[in-house]
Amino acid sequence: MARSLPLEALCACLLIIAGSAFAEPAVLFVGEEEAPKFREFGTQIRSALRRAGNPEILSWPLDQAMGRRGPLPESLHLIVALGTHPARWARDNSGGLPVVFGMVLNPQPDLVESLERPPPGITGACLNLPAEPIVTVLRKLLPRVRRIGVLHTSRETLEPVREIEAVAASVGLACRAVTVDSPSGIEPALRELLPAIDLIWALADSKVFTPAGARVVLERAMAARVPVLGYSKPMATAGALLAVYPDFAESAHQAGELAAGALQKGVATVRPIARPTRPVVAVNRRVLDLLGLSLSEEASSLVQEWIQ
Q: Give the per-residue pLDDT at 154.
A: 76
Cα 285 to Cα 241: distance, rounded to the nearest angstrom: 8
Cα 261 to Cα 175: distance, rounded to the nearest angstrom: 39
Determine, yes or no, domain membership for 11: no
Q: Give the per-residue pLDDT at 294.
A: 94
Range of the domain at 257: 24-127+249-276
Query: What's the whole-model pTM score?
Result: 0.84
Nearest CA-CA partner of 137 in 187, 177, 185, 171: 171
Statement to judge: residues 181 and 263 lie in one domain: no
| Spatial contact of 226 and 199, defined as CB atoms under 8 Å apart | yes
Q: Give the per-residue pLDDT at 5.
A: 47
Determine, yes or no, domain membership for 4: no
Statement to judge: residues 293 and 170 lie in one domain: yes
Cα 293 to Cα 267: distance, rounded to the nearest angstrom: 49
Statement to judge: residues 137 and 180 lie in one domain: yes
Determine, yes or no, domain membership for 5: no
| Spatial contact of 79 and 100, defined as CB atoms under 8 Å apart | yes
Determine, yes or no, domain membership for 8: no
Statement to judge: residues 182 and 225 lie in one domain: yes
Statement to judge: residues 45 and 170 lie in one domain: no
Statement to judge: residues 119 and 159 lie in one domain: no
Statement to judge: residues 50 and 110 lie in one domain: yes
Statement to judge: residues 47 and 163 lie in one domain: no
* Helix 186-193, helix 211-223: angle, nearest 10: 30
Determine, yes or no, domain membership for 14: no
In sequence order, what are the residues at sequence separation of 6 or more whose Cβ sits closer than 8 angstroms to the Cβ of residue 258? 100, 123, 124, 125, 267, 271, 274
Domain total of the chain = 2
Tens digit of each residue's pLDDT, the chain (308 residues): 444 545 554 444 433 333 434 457 899 999 977 788 899 999 999 999 999 888 999 999 999 999 988 889 999 999 999 999 999 999 999 999 999 999 998 898 888 888 888 888 899 999 999 999 999 999 999 999 999 999 998 777 888 999 999 999 999 999 999 999 888 899 999 999 999 999 999 998 888 888 899 999 999 999 999 999 999 999 999 999 999 999 999 999 999 999 999 998 876 555 789 999 999 999 999 999 999 999 999 999 999 999 98
Cα 31 to Cα 28: distance, rounded to the nearest angstrom: 10
Nearest CA-CA partner of 46 in 56, 60, 35: 56
Statement to judge: residues 177 and 297 lie in one domain: yes
Determine, yes or no, domain membership for 7: no
Statement to judge: residues 149 and 100 lie in one domain: no
Determine, yes or no, domain membership for 16: no
Question: Cα–chain-centroid distance for residue 171?
Answer: 26
Beta strands at 242-246 and 228-230: parallel, antiparallel or unpaired: parallel
- Strand segments, DSSP code E, in the chain are 26-30, 56-60, 76-82, 99-104, 122-126, 147-152, 174-179, 199-201, 228-230, 242-246, 279-284, 305-307
Determine, yes or no, domain membership for 264: yes
Statement to judge: residues 173 and 286 lie in one domain: yes
Check which CATH number belongs to the domain holding 217 and give it. 3.40.50.2300
Statement to judge: residues 29 and 60 lie in one domain: yes
